[in-house]
Structure 1
Amino acid sequence: MYNIIIDNIQDKYDYNELIKIFLRPEDYRLFAEQEYEGPSSEEDTLIEFNYEGFKDKNQIKREIYQGLSQITKTSPPWGILTGVRPVKLMRELSEKYASSDRAAEKLRRFYLLSEEKVRLLTEIYKYQQSALGKAAERSQSVYIGIPFCPSRCLYCSFTSNQKGAEEIEKYMEALMREIEYAGDALRKSGSLTESIYIGGGTPTTLRAEQLDALLSKTEEAFDLSALREFTVEAGRPDTITKEKLRVIADHGIKRISINPQTMKDSTLKLIGRSHSVEDIRQAFRAAKETGDFLINADVIAGLPEETPEDFQNTLNEIISLDPANITVHTLAVKRASRLIESDASYHYRQAKTVERMLKASEDILKAAGYRPYYLYRQKHMAGAMENTGYCKGDTPCIYNIRIMDENQSILALGAGGISKRYYPKENRLERIPNVSNYSVYIERLDEMTQRKEKNFFKEV
């Protein structure tokens, strides 16, 4: 057990996320100077950091990083960064110094990123600037959430529910009301909608007629004159049918997601997916026969019992299905998931394996004509790595870039949606959350719309 003391700081927990990249929570205790009363065992190891005179948190983090690197003999490639949006930091530094080269040097020297991660961030940032640029000041994106799934995956604690038809219908009635309100409020505000993203959960848990009604209501409610992108996250192959795909195509929607996660049947069964690899292939065939879709496919590096060779096989099979986008996720083990309940240290033990998988994914996808276009990180990721979206040609998902860059307002509707009002003059976001429980959302819908009226649509 390590006893870690951090002296002369205001809040020790500012540094806890960084320490957790090096050490499992059960392997250390963290103390401020005045809290430490001595070791609880002869086997305890004391690590003390003293930062008298230090004022910069990042300076303290660099010292902690370097000290723990020496002790653990590891050098995490994201350096002292613990946030989820490193590309946003790259943009802000590039704007501050009027140079992406100077920004890259800051990431190396002050944030201690590896050369590989600096190169990846630079490549993504430059592509985003050339392909998309900054969002227009009066624009926003709209997210509509369907918080239902056929089952809960082993690694997931997402607020999704396996519910009956009657409860889903009640939810849809409430959601339609919020969509009507939001569309009217947006028209009055004079804002323009750049992108719409219907996600979840699994939106295709809805029946075809429910999906049709949702898309029709969305088209009626919002001014789509400036719309550049409309996405439906079809998601799990076991919920995708030709009838639902025809509904999506008939509404002129071009972008969907089909999310295999893996192309290994035994893994699908292990993680709680009620479909097969052949179902994945069939979903792709159905999509290509039904409409001219830009398809995104999600895969996950670090799934239980998978080897780097398994992961490479998944990538090669997905590439053969020819999606426009492939998003490579690092397994993030959520706190309330079944996996973390049975193996709390899983994501630590997978670090080296996942690192190999991600390196292989970049090589394989680039060789197949894909380029990285967006990136984000999450807590509890195996190896504290990242998720990277790749696109073929110029087919990036606008919504994905905007929500990670945080320079545009995001209006989120439905249970669990978190709206973000962006104030460009202050470069500030204000969060306006909906409640996450779908039944509470139905009961408190008026409160949700009042929150938006007060905080999202208020005049500045």
Structure 2
Amino acid sequence: MKIFIDGHDYKYEVESLVRMFFHGKELPVETGEPNTNEDFIYTKVVKGEASTELLVAVSLDGSSENACDTVCNSLPNYDAECERVFAVMLYRILTPMTGIQLKWGVLTGIRPVKFVHRFHEQGLSDDEIRRTLAEKYLVSPQKIDLMMNTARREAQVLKLSKPNFYSLYISIPFCPTRCLYCSFVSHSIEKTKKLMPEYVDLLVREIEYTAQVLGRIDGLQLETIYFGGGTPTALTADQLRQVMGAVNKCFDFPSVREYTVEAGRPDTITEEKLRVLKEYGATRISINPQTMNDSVLDAIGRRHTTQQTVDAFHLARKMGHTNINMDLIAGLPTDTVESFCSTLDQVLGLNPENITLHTLSVKRAATLADQADKAYRAQSEAVTQMLGYASESFGAAGYHPYYLYRQKNTVDNMENVGYCKNGSEGLYNVYIMDETHSIVALGAGGVSKLKEPGGELINRVFNYKYPYEYISRFDEILARKNKIAEFYAVHPFDCK
């Protein structure tokens, strides 16, 4: 299968939509008209004086279909409309030809809920938004309900933040083992333990230097802190004290609404570490089983048991942690619908404040990447049943969706959703998905996203990816932090 682009610059949008129908397939993209007898998808733009003609032709497994439509040249959102029309034509052809029906319609982006917020800003009512999503973007009723419910909760959180607020992300890129599906910049302790003491020392220096840079920006206030990874509790209790102590010493806390630490893997959680998290101000932690089935845990390379998850949860409660998140994944290799439903029932029985439900996504850097297509096919039908059971169970247990995002290469093109009890929304999760304000990121793999106050511009400042790079090129990382002050000098905020 080849994709041909003729007379237009909508390659990314066309390719993104087509890939949803052909998971794991090679889809080379060429310009011009088809020059092959093999399967192809051809898209062409012919721009006239008043309108533009868009054409699509598809040849697949001996069958051929084509379509055409027009877009008015004077439309203020001309390019976006051309992209949408191309996507709709492709969807209407590929759905019957492949037998695949996308529940998200032609929406391919990471942040579908932004459509709802944008339509509200344009003055559309809820009914008008629902009709637009169904008719123009072909989104299913179930996903429209999810978008609308999530947007309603998100809007309440977004009202809290102000243009002069920012969030702090601290990366701890170490894990006990690397999971089969994982592509995060995380490294098993077995291989990188010798790097950890020096990494922690340099991370403290980056915290100190960054705090000095941010302190020179008058009026800037810290709203949320998030320790992620990796697994932050892969550090020793003393190392956690060292890093969290530096944060407490260097940053002002009066405006901080939330302080999250991903305790993550249950086999890294101890009473002493939980005590450190509490002592140094963490208000929210994660204990992430992914599944409560021991055989599935073994299949994905997680060396802990279901019982360890339960024990870690109860220990956290005993140590005074009152806001706990738990992560689950639908579609894991060897998992079944029955096993997943049992996992969900067990986690709901623990009664955490937050549950984040991911759909399996296998990135190119993951160990499972070579078997991704097989994994998708094996779990495709099951994932729909898993997510359906989860949606009903969450609603019955009093949990509501409050943030939502999608990833490429996800089984059945499904989504990741954060559910919570009333008043337990994870603020950082909403802010980073909405791109509400600046996120200042420290540590290996950290990417600071500097948001223009009151605008849409986002500048990115990158740290080096891997711990050994972070250590060997640390002076460059510190120098890059000066870009934060330079950004706010050009894009000041009014915090009156």
Q: Report the TM-score when normalising by structure 1.
A: 0.94
| Residue identity in the other structure for 1:59 | V
Contact 1:258-1:283 within 8 A present in 2 as well: yes
* Between 287-296 and 16-25, the greater mean CA deviation after superposition: 16-25
Matches within 5 A, 1:389-408: 389-408=418-437
Give, as a single letter, the amino acid of the residue that structure 2 aligns with 1:382. Answer: V
SS at match of 1:283: helix
Whole-angstrom CA distance in 2 between matches of 1:409 and 1:118: 29
Residues 248-304 of structure 1: CA deviation (Å, up to 9, x unaligned): 111232200000000001011111011111111110111011113310000110011
Q: C-alpha deviations, 1:109-168, integer Å up to 9, x for none?
A: 222211111111111111222354262010001100000011110111211112444310
Residue equivalent to 2:36: 37
Contact 2:231 2:262 in 1 (8 A): yes
| Deviations, residues 301-345 of structure 1 (Å, cap 9, x unaligned) | 001111111111000001111111011110111212222223434
Correspondence for 1:193: 222
Mind listing any 5+ residue stretches in structure 1 that lack a counterpart? none
Amino acid at match of 1:257: S
Report the CA distance shift for 1:223/1:101 in structure 2 as closer, same or farther (over 3 A): farther
Q: Secondary structure, in 3 states, of the residue corresponding to 2:420?
A: strand
| Equivalent pair of 1:256/1:296 in contact (CA under 8 Å) | yes
In structure 1, the residue matched to 2:463 is 434
2:448 maps to a residue whose letter is: S
Which of the numbers 238, 256, 260 marks the counterpart of 2:289? 260
The size of the alignment, in residue pairs, is 459
Amino acid at match of 2:16: E
Please tell me whether the aligned partners of residues 157 and 427 of structure 2 are also in contact (alpha carbons under 8 angstroms).
no
Q: Which residue of 1 is the match for residue 481 of structure 2?
A: 452
1:3-14 aligned within 5 A? 4-14=3-13
Once the two structures are TM-superposed, the CA of residue 89 in structure 1 deviates from its matched residue by: 2.5
Task: Indicate which of 218, 225, 228 corresponds to 2:247.
Answer: 218
Q: Return 303-312 or 7-16, whichever deviates more.
A: 7-16
Q: Which residue does the alignment assign to 1:179?
A: 207
**Counterpart in the other structure of 1:24:** 23
Q: Which residue of 2 aligns with 1:382?
A: 411
1:312 aligns to what?
341
Secondary structure, aligned partner of 1:421: strand
Q: 1:49 to 1:169 in 2, by over 3 A?
A: farther
- C-alpha offsets along residues 405-460 of structure 1, whole Å, 9 cap, x if unaligned? 01211101111011111113432211211111111112222222322312564312
Specify the alignment match of 1:15 in structure 2.
Answer: 14
Structure 1 Cα separation of the partners of residues 484 and 248 of structure 2: 24
Cα RMSD after superposing both structures: 2.2
Runs of 4+ aligned residues of structure 1 deviating over 6 Å after TM superposition are: 40-43
Partner of 2:195: 167
1:88 and 2:117 aligned: no
Output the amino acid matched with 1:451: R
Between the aligned partners of 2:193 and 2:30, the Cα distance in structure 1 is: 51
Q: Which residue of 1 aligns with 2:323?
A: 294
Letter aligned with residue 401 of structure 2: P
Distance in 2 of aligned mates of 1:96 and 1:448: 41
CA positional deviation for 1:366: 1.1
Structure 2 gaps of 5+ residues are 41-58, 72-78, 491-496
Change (3 A) 1:68 1:31: farther
Q: Is it true that 1:60 corresponds to 2:89 in the alignment?
A: no
Shift of 1:348: 4.2
Aligned to 1:246: 275
Find out whether 1:142 has 2:168 as its counterpart: yes
Q: Which amino acid aligns with 1:86?
A: P
Q: CA deviation at 1:31?
A: 4.4
Distance 2:142 2:62 in 1: 33
What is the percentage of aligned positions where both structures have the same residue? 41
Residue 104 of structure 2: which of 50, 59, 78 is its match? Answer: 78
The answer to whether the 8 A contact 2:65-2:93 is kept is no
Against the structure 1 CA distance between its residues 3 and 454, is the aligned structure 2 distance closer, same or farther, given a 3 Å change threshold? closer
CA contact (8 A) 2:376 2:411 kept: yes
Paired residue secondary structure (2:216): helix
- Does the 8 Å CA contact 1:80/1:112 hold for their aligned counterparts? yes
For the structure 1 residues 196 and 223, does the alpha-carbon distance in structure 2 shift closer, same or farther, using more than 3 Å as the test?
same
How far the C-alpha of 1:4 sits from its partner, in A, is: 4.9
SS in 2 for 1:26: coil
| 1:363 maps to 2:414 | no
- What's the CA shift for 1:356? 1.1
Supply the distance in 2 between the matched residues of 1:416 and 1:286 (Cα, whole angstroms): 31
